[in-house]
Amino acid sequence: MDGRAGAAQSDAMKDTPRQPVLLLSHEMLAPLQAALEPAYRVIRLWDHPDRLSFLEGPGREVQAIVHAGEIKLSRDLLSEMPRLGLIACVSVGYDGLDVAWCRAHGIAVTHSQGLNADDVADHAVGSFLAAWRGIVAGDRIVREDRWTPAERMRPRPGLMGKKAGIVGLGHIGEAVAKRVEPFGMTVSWWGPNPKDSRWPRAQSLLALARDSDALFVCCRGDAANHHLISRTVIEALGPRGCLVNVARGSVVEEDALIAALKDGRLGMAALDVFETEPTPAARWADVPNTVLTPHTAGGTLESIPKMIGQTLENLKRFFNDEPLLSPVQG
C-alpha cells in the first residue's frame, strides 16, 4: 500500500463512527450476540477469565452491559469501567445488582418490566398442581412399573375451598391469584406495603402462612427479602401445605425447607428457583414431595422475544440520549 492509499484509509477510518461497545455478562446471553453485532461491538465477559487484564484492556471501553439480572455483578468490577453508563437486564429481576450504588455512580439500570408475568404465573400454578395432586410422582410410578391397585386408594386432596396465600402482589402475584380462583380457591396476600386490591391483605406474613394451604412466593428477590420465607413461616404453612417459589431462591431459607420436607413439617414444595443455581442434584435426591424445575418459569417462545426487544430498545434509547423505556425505579 503506497503512502497516499494509506492516508486515504486512515482518513476514512476517522470519518467512520465507532460502534458502541457492549459487554455480555454471562454465557446464557450468547444467543443475543447475533442480534447485537450489527449495531454494537460485543465483548463477552466469559472470554476474559483474567479480570485484571480485562479491566485494564477491553473493560475500559465498555459503555453498556447486557445482563441476566439474577447474576451478581460486583461493585469492584463495575467501578473499574470508566465509560459504563447502562446495565440493561434482559430479565425482569435485577437482584444481582446494587441499584442504589449504580445510580449513585451514574449507571442506569433497565429491566424487562412486566413482560412475562403471565408465563411465570402459568408455571407457578402448573407446578403447584403437579405437586398437590402428585402428578410427577404418579408419572414415575407408571414408568417404573410400580403401579398397583393400592395406588388408587391413596387419594390426594382436591382444590375446591382451599386457601391460596400470595407473597408479593405485583404483576406475577396478581396473575397467580386470577388463575387459582377458578379452581374454587380463596385468595389472600401479604406484602410490606398496603395496596388497593380485591383480595384481602393478611396482617402479617406469618398469619398468611398459617391460614394458607398453598403459599405462592412471588415477591422481589432483593436483599430486604433474603430468607423472608424462614423456618418459622415454613412451619406455619404446615404438614399439609405446599410452598411454591417462582421468585428467587434467596427468598426461601432453603436448608430449613429441605429439613421440613424430610421430617414432614411441610407437606410439599414446587420450586423453580434455588439458592445456588444450578442446584446440585444430590441436594434433592432424598427430599420427598417436591416438583423441581430449572428456573424456566419466565422463559417462553412468546416472552423471550419481547424481553430481548425491550432490551434492544433500551440500548437504542441510551445511545441516542433518549428516555429509557423501562428503567428500574426505586
Q: Active-site positions? A: 248, 277, 295
Backbone φ and ψ for 165, nearest 5 degrees, come out as -105, 135
To the nearest 10°, report the CA torsion of 277, 278, 280, 285: 100
CA distance 230 to 251: 8
Spell out a b/e string for 103-137, using b for 16 or more CB atoms within 10 Å of the CB, else e.
eeeebbbbbbbebbbbbbbbbbbbbbbbbbebebb
Neighbours of 297 (CB within 10 A): 23
Strand partners, 43: 23
Strands of the chain (E only): list them: 21-24, 41-44, 64-67, 86-89, 108-110, 163-167, 186-190, 214-217, 242-245, 268-271, 290-292
Query: Where is 318: in which H helix or E strand?
Result: helix 303-319
Dig out the grid coordinates for 253 from the structure: 431459607
Contact 167, 215 (CB under 8 A): yes
Contact between residue 215 and residue 208 where contact means Cβ atoms under 8 Å apart: yes
Task: Give yes or no for a contact between 65 and 84, defined as CB atoms under 8 angstroms apart.
Answer: yes
Q: In what order do the strands lie in the sheet with 186-190?
A: 186-190, 163-167, 214-217, 242-245, 268-271, 290-292
Q: Is residue 66 within 8 Å of 315, Cβ to Cβ?
A: yes
